[in-house]
Structure formats: structure tokens, C-alpha cells
Structure 1
Amino acid sequence: MEEKDVTIYDIARELDLASSTISRALKNDPKVKLKTRNKVHQMAQKMGYQSNPFARSLRNKRSYLIGIIIPRLTNHFVSSAISGLEDMLSIKGYNIIIGQTYGQIDKEISALKMLMDNRVDGLLVSLSDQTKSPEHLDPFTKKKIPLIYFDSVPDITDSSVIVIDHAQAAYIATKHLIEAGCKKIAHVTTGISHGICADKYAGYKKALLESNKRLKEELLVFEDLGSIESGKHVADHILKMNKPPDGLFFENDHCAAGCIAGLKKGGLNIPKDIAVVGFNDEPVATLIDPNLSSISYSGYEIGRVAAQNILLQIENPEMPKISKTVLPARLVIRESSIR
């Protein structure tokens, strides 16, 4: 005879608790005392209880899946944001499906189709560098699937966004290089026409103009910023210049670290000859010699806030879908820019 599956009602009888308490405890609902949650989990394990996500999905007309589109998992900021997302979503019994775009729009479109096929209840998106306009996300908004952009967001949207003030952060970084005595500051970027790249360029430009410094085309260095190797390409470019800059502002720490290594190999002293500031405060910032000054902000906090907002929208379908949350960023000054 086939053994009957253990239910929350069986656990409730064993512990003399309400079935609703058992249900909340198994979801790690903070409304249930930690001691009670631990007791319920121990009894569930002892009795061989297994949750039935399919039954729950049918009952509540939800998949309990949240889709996440990100450029690269190897990015420290992104991995921290994922941790913040998971910590918040797991409390409510949600799982995540990740689509990794590697900064390419065709992979972004493919990942979005995969998430739509999996019937996600909500979508969190950090756009690829190639995405100038997010029309390919229209199927989600048409189906009224909650959508929130974080970090890399569109210029215009009818959805919620969670960001830092990239323009202000870039302004602070460039201003620091000016105050360190740099006369000729270059900006290393993937582009200046849209998204967070345009915001960072705006901050760089504002700091220069305020200090009566001219914008020069040769001081914009365009490079794919995803690796240390790309930074070495930037170093090669700078070493070939007749009059190289004495300050560098990067929008990515890995590229900045690779550039520092390449410039030192080429015989330049950092920061005496060229002062350097990066962005994101990745672990590599404290591994390179000299340690890299960088804009720091919490990926974990952005992920946590994004998860809170997407859950609010899922559980309250009538609430407004347009909002903007701006989280703080700060400059961490290290040896690479102290002159």
C-alpha cells in the first residue's frame, strides 16, 4: 500500500499548533517566532514532509518565480544584488530564475523569452549596455507582470526603477581628481549616449566645466569594460599618446585595475604620473597595487529594496507601478588617487 504524503495538518496535530502557523513557519515568515519556526522545521524533517509547489501554484494562480535579467554574474555588485534579492524573496517562498546577458541585447531578448515561458510572477531587470530602448519588455507590461528596473535602467519608462545617482557619483569622482591636482582628466567608458554611461559622462562633464576645464574628444576613451584585459588595452592607448592625461576616471574597477597594471609596466607611477579612480568598489580595488579609489554603493541593499518592491506589486496589483528609488553612493579614497 502506497504511503500517504505528510501534510501541514499532520505536523499541526503533532505540535498542537494551527495549520496556518505551520504554513507560515515553513515559509520562514518573521511573524512566527524563531523558536516556533525551528520546531516546525525539525518536525517537518522528522516526518518527511515535502512541499508541493505545483499545488500551491494552482491554488494561488502564481508560479512563485521571479525572473532576473543581469549583465554578468561575475560582477561583484551583481552577485551582491542577487544575494539581497534571494534573502528577501525566499522569506515569501519565491524562487528566482536568472537570465545572464553578457551585455548583449540579443541574449537579453532570448533570456526574456525564457522567463516568459516560465510564467514568472515578476521581473527585475538590469539592462545590457546595448539596450537603448526596452520595447522587447512590452510583452511583460501588456500581461501586467510587475516589472522593476535596477542599476542599469532605461532613460524613459512607465515602470519602477531603483538606482544610485550615477551622475552625482561621477561628478564626485572627477571633482576628487581635480582637487588632487590633475589638469588633464580622461574618462574611460563604453559609451556616452544612453543609460548609466550617459549619466556618468554628464557628471564627469559637469565637474570639468565647473572647474573651467575644456572637454576634449581625445580624453574620451571608449572600451569594453568587462575585464582586466580591457584595462590593459586602455593602458596601451594612453602610453602611445603624445601628451597623456594625468587623471583617469573609469566606470568599471576591473578595467581600471588592468590599466594600472599596464601603465606601471610601461614605466609610469600611479598616482604621481596618473591618478586613477574607478567605479563599483569591486574586491579587485584592494588587490591591485596601489589600491584603487572607487565609487562604492551596496549591491545587496539595491537587491533587497528591489525584492521588497516587486513583492509589493505582486501582492497589491492595483498599486501604482511607477516610482523611483535613489540609494546613496560614496567615494572611497585609496592610494591610486592620493597625490
Structure 2
Amino acid sequence: MKDHTEVTIYHIAEKLGLATSTISRALKDHHSIGKKTIEKVKQTAKEMGYRPNNLAASLRSKKTKTIGVLLPTITQPFLSSLISGIEIACQKAGYNVVIMQSHDSYEQEVNLTQSLYNNRVSGIICSLAMETQDTSHFQLFIESNTPLVFVDRVPKHFSTFRVVIDNYAAGYKATKHLISQGCTRIAHLTAGSEFSIYFERKKGYLDALKEANLAIDENLIIKLKAVTYEEAENATNKLLDMKNPPDGIFAPGDILGVSAIQCAKKRGIKVPEELAVIGFNNDPISNIIDPNLSTITHPAEKMGQASAEIILKHLKHPKKGEDAKEITFLNTEVLVRESSMRNKTE
């Protein structure tokens, strides 16, 4: 019968006639141990079925080699690309990633934050839930000097690292594009609170209209309860029912733009001739819909990598106070496709 006793460094030391401290250093490739000894120790450890006790090591250091990732959901293409970027950077550095979903619930976010803290994660990356306005539950990480990075949906007033795009500039660019295509009544779908990325995109939209001397009609701005296909469909129907309907829609999410296109087509409205539409994120669906959806690029994978790299760098060289408030901006571009291309010369 096979012996199921857990192999430890003591067993390896006994077999090789070496000190346990030598075995421990050899397994960690320590510079004080010769190359031949390291190879011999590792080969013996493998043959004996040795597994490093990461749990014991983490209890000694009071930290795990795990980065906690707290997101609204993992179903959106943007957020799954963000996760991919985080995992690429963490795996290279030998860190594990644990992913949790708040489902846009403030209460869930508070509970999950506590859970990540209790599990002694080495760092946390978070994109806020739609409901969240009070971010005091994240103070746990600041007080324990655990690196915290907010990404994409970030709080306005919280002293920590942030990785974002310039949402104001992106909203401005999207609206300017529709104006360049001859649109004069541009509707905008928005969401969230005044602290959200959608609020910044709306500010960019409003300033682009003002700059072009186009009237701001509050009836053309519809606040969605959630960033969903159904909500955008209801909003688009409401807009197209108006006596003087819009000739352009800026939707701050591709699923919203796709919904607007399909809603217009069902009603026999030609896109882009009668209604030009631009989305946001450059999700795969934007290329599949007919007509293809114009959109704003959103470098999700790069944002994920940047977030993880900030944490990994901080773990090596901790920063405090003002130095731990860095904001990393990534660029966006307008991707012009059929859904908004009325002016064929652009």
C-alpha cells in the first residue's frame, strides 16, 4: 500500500544528508546555493512527490500570493478582456487571481470586499458596482497597506491607484463624430450616478453640442436603470416616438448601440441615413451587427495589465500617501463603421 504521508523538506534533507535550510534555499533558487545542488534538490523533491506548502508560507507572511479582482460581472466582453490582462501580468509574476462579481449591488460589493480582506489577498483590483456611491468599505485595504487599484469605474474621491480612460474626452469624440456626419438632434443614453464613468461621457457629449452651437434638449437624454439591451430598446422606442425624433444616438456601451440599431430597423428606420448610431467599447458584437456599429475603442486588456502591474510593483516597492494616488490614463479612438457613416468622405 502506498504511503500517503505528506513529503516535507525534512524528508528531502534526510534523504540527501543536507540541512533543511539548504533544501529550503535550493527550492527557492537562492544565490547562496550552487547550481548542481539546486538541480539535485529539485529532482529529489519531484521524485518524492514534494508539494510546497503555500498556505503555511502565506500564514507566516500574513499574505497570500493572490490578487483579488472584484468586478460588476464577468459576462461583458470588456470585463472578460480586463480579466485576461490581469491574469497575464499576475501569472508571469507567480501570483494567483481570485475573481468575484458584485452584480452591480452595493451590498454584495461590501460583503465581497470583507471576504477578500479576510482571505489576506496581497492586493485588490476593483471596478465599482453601479449602485456604489459610498466607498468607505475599501478603507480596510488602505489601513492594512494592501495595494488597491480601481479600474474603469473608479470613485472620484479615494486616495489610491486608478486606471482609467478619459471618459469625458471619449464622450466628446463620439458626439463630435456624429456632428461631423451632419447630425443635429443627437440623443444620448446614460446611466449611473454623478460619480460614474457615464456621467463623464455625458459631460463630453454636452460640451460637444455646445461647441457646435446645437441646442441641448433634455428630452433627448435618457437615463437607463441598467446597462442592458432591454433598457436601451425601451429608451430608443421612446426617442423614436417623439414628434421630432433624433437623427443620431450616442450609446455609451456597444450592447446599447446594437439595441438602438435593431429597434430602429424593426420600425423601418434606415441606419445611418435616418438615424446614425455610435456605441462604446469595441465589443465583438459591434462587428457582427448589420450595419456594423461605429464605436469608441476601450483598451480593456491593457487596463487589466496596467492594474496588475501597479499592484506587483507596489508589493516590491511600497508607496504611501500622495505617491499611492497615481492615475493611469489610456487612450481611446473613434472607430468609424457603417452605422454612423453618412458622410462617405470621412
Bin the TM-score by the shorter chain: 0.7 to 0.9
Asked whether the 8 Å contact 1:9–1:19 carries over to 2, the reply is no
Q: Which residue of 2 aligns with 1:195?
A: 196
Q: Evaluate the alpha carbon distance shift between residue 43 and residue 307 of structure 1 in structure 2; reply closer, same or farther with a 3 A threshold.
A: farther
Matched, 1:315 2:316: yes
Q: Which amino acid aligns with 1:249?
A: F
| Cα distance in structure 1, aligned partners of 2:242 and 2:315 | 54
Asked whether the 8 Å contact 2:71–2:129 carries over to 1, the reply is yes
| Cα distance in structure 1, aligned partners of 2:243 and 2:312 | 55
Q: Which amino acid aligns with 1:215?
A: I
Matches within 5 A, 1:280-299: 280-299=281-300
| Cα distance in structure 1, aligned partners of 2:50 and 2:175 | 58
Question: How big is each residue's C-alpha offset from its partner over 1:52-95, in whole Å with a ceiling of 9 and x where there is no partner?
Answer: 21122134331122221111101111111111111111222222
Asked whether the 8 Å contact 2:165–2:331 carries over to 1, the reply is yes
| Cα distance in structure 2, aligned partners of 1:300 and 1:20 | 36
Classify the secondary structure of the residue corresponding to 1:193.
coil
| Cα distance in structure 2, aligned partners of 1:230 and 1:190 | 10
Unaligned runs of 5+ in 2: 17-22, 31-40
Question: How big is each residue's C-alpha offset from its partner over 1:90-118, in whole Å with a ceiling of 9 and x where there is no partner?
Answer: 22222222221122212211211221221
Unaligned runs of 5+ in 1: 26-39
Matched, 1:62 2:63: yes
Q: Which amino acid aligns with 1:5?
A: V
Q: Which residue of 2 aligns with 1:178?
A: 179
Question: How big is each residue's C-alpha offset from its partner over 1:122-175, in whole Å with a ceiling of 9 and x where there is no partner?
Answer: 111111222223122122222222111111111122111110111111111100
Offset at 1:228? 2.1
Asked whether the 8 Å contact 2:228–2:255 carries over to 1, the reply is yes
Q: Which amino acid aligns with 2:7?
A: D
| Cα distance in structure 1, aligned partners of 2:74 and 2:120 | 22
| Cα distance in structure 1, aligned partners of 2:230 and 2:10 | 54
Classify the secondary structure of the residue corresponding to 2:310.
helix
| Cα distance in structure 2, aligned partners of 1:154 and 1:78 | 18
Q: Which residue of 2 aligns with 1:154?
A: 155
| Cα distance in structure 1, aligned partners of 2:186 and 2:221 | 9
Q: Which is higher, the Rg of structure 1 or of structure 2?
A: 2
Q: Which residue of 2 aligns with 1:249?
A: 250
Q: Which residue of 2 aligns with 1:23?
A: 28
Q: Which residue of 2 aligns with 1:96?
A: 97
Q: Which residue of 1 aligns with 2:7?
A: 5
Structure 1 runs (4+) deviating above 6 angstroms are 40-46
| Cα distance in structure 2, aligned partners of 1:101 and 1:253 | 21
Q: How many residues align?
A: 321
Cα RMSD (Å)? 2.7
